[in-house]
Chains A and B, each alone.
Chain A
Amino acid sequence: MKSAPLNAHRSIDDIEIELFIAAVHQKYEYDFSRYAKASLKRRILSLTEAHKLAHISELIPLLLYDDDFISEILGYLSVQVSEMFRDPHVFKKLREIIVPMLATYPQINIWLAGCANGEEAYSLAILLKEEKLLERSNIYATDISHKALDIAREGIYSADNLECFERNYQLAGGSGAFSDYYVSKYNYIHLHPELKKNIFFTDHNLACDGVFCEANLVMCRNVMIYFDKELKNRCLSLFTDSLVPGGYLCIGTKEDISFTTAESHYKALTQHERLFQKRF
């Protein structure tokens, strides 16, 4: 007798994806089970195609028997797209309304969660330097991707995007010129090492690790869009626990904390820039 599939409505792809994610989680600590499904599927399919495999499940033996494969998987499953001073109006508002408040603290701790290749961390360092606060600031910039963190520590970026960086810097209210902060070599810009002194690039997984530090400002942009509701709530409660009373939260311009468990802990400062203050 031929048995009918239990759940005819579920596509085989989806079953394979679930098995693959379970295999990743069982071999390593990385848990992608609570990532938003549609874009995760796209990324897993492009990894499958890159290896010219016919089925997603064929990734499983590669994962199990090749210890180097995980770094490639992470490269595909978490995408590190960023730019210096992305959404410059956000940095402008940070400078105008948050920085003067941060200046009242003897020491400023900033947690930048999901820092990708580091552009956001250096943007903050430049902003704080111009406001003469960098010396007493610690920027803890964390990400799940080791490869991204290595690039971030280098602080070397392609000059192809220089025009965009310069424009963003100006729109963000930069008080000098972006060229004050790097030297060009061939087609790359090398950010000044002094910007790095107060940045600590560290491995941290928002899906399973705990509170990272006591922070005056938490910035986490365009990371939670990849998570399902439950994981997003987990992140937000990490941030709430991490922030001092009256501390600030900055999320992506297309993200929101309405209808999350964190909503009641915050007061919105500016809607457009998604800046929030934790209630006292």
Chain B
Amino acid sequence: MSEASLSVRAIVIGASAGAIETLIQLLQPLPSSYRVPIIIVCHLPASEGDNMLSIVLARHCQLQVKEACERETLCSGTIYIAPPSYHLLLEKDLTLALSLDDKVLCCRPSIDVLFMSAADALEEELLGILLTGANADGADGLVAIKQRGGQVFVQDPVTATVDVMPRAALMALKKSHLSADAVENTQGLTRRLLSQL
């Protein structure tokens, strides 16, 4: 166990096509006492203001799951989900912020926006995880996290429902002469979350 992993203060997760099942697999085993707060951006069609993903995840997870509210301070034992149609950002004082700024790579919420702001806020105390998806969102964000000294996990593309997003991220890391700290299937990633943090 590396020393750095002890000091992880937040985990950011990005997922797109195929996200719901993958997130359930990844997060269901985490106990309600899990220390590190988790923030998720997931591309889903905006359905009348209701955050479907938080309802589904809440049903399956032991951790508390909620839609992220503006200005909310991160708490242990909680999974925060970006509300549909808003970007979600992490401020340096570990409060969450929302914005309606332009879409990034056709996405709002954007994984890159969350990841980059969190990388700025927490630097080496951040872990980023990128899962299944059909576009390149999250790739730049993961690079930003690594450049600031944080850790990144990527779902093994071979095991992803849709492999475009994890592949794009691995490519982007390679281009910047960086590499992921883990490339594994969800069980492997969950095991790391349980043993390291």
**Could you list which residues of chain A lie within 8 angstroms of chain B, going by C-beta atoms?**
11, 36-39, 41-43, 79, 81, 87, 89, 222, 225-226, 229, 253-256, 272
Which residue of chain A lies nearest to B67 when distances are taken between CB atoms in the complex? A254
Known: A36-B89, A38-B117, A225-B100. 4 other contacts (CB 8 A): A81-B100, A225-B98, A226-B99, A254-B83
Say yes or no for B165: interface residue by CB 8 A criterion: no
Which residue of chain B lies nearest to A78 when distances are taken between CB atoms in the complex? B101
Which residue of chain B lies nearest to A224 when distances are taken between CB atoms in the complex? B70
Q: Are A38 and B120 in contact (CB under 8 A)?
A: yes
Q: Are A11 and B102 in contact (CB under 8 A)?
A: no
A256 to B70, CA, bound (A): 8
A11 to B97, CA, bound (A): 20
Say yes or no for B153: interface residue by CB 8 A criterion: no
Q: Are A39 and B101 in contact (CB under 8 A)?
A: yes
Q: Are A37 and B100 in contact (CB under 8 A)?
A: no
Q: Which residues of A contact B99 (CB under 8 A)?
A: 36, 39, 79, 225-226
Q: Which residues of A contact B173 (CB under 8 A)?
A: none
A75 to chain B, nearest CB (A): 12
Say yes or no for B184: interface residue by CB 8 A criterion: no
Query: A79 with B102: in contact, given A37-B92, A41-B120 (CB under 8 Å)?
Result: yes
B55 to chain A, nearest CB (A): 15
Q: Are A36 and B91 in contact (CB under 8 A)?
A: yes
CB-contacts of B24-74 with A (<8 A): 48-49, 69-71
Q: Are B87 and A39 in contact (CB under 8 A)?
A: yes
Say yes or no for B121: interface residue by CB 8 A criterion: yes
A89 to B47, CA, bound (A): 12
> CB-defined interface of B85-97 with A at 8 Å, one 1/0 digit per residue?
0110111100001
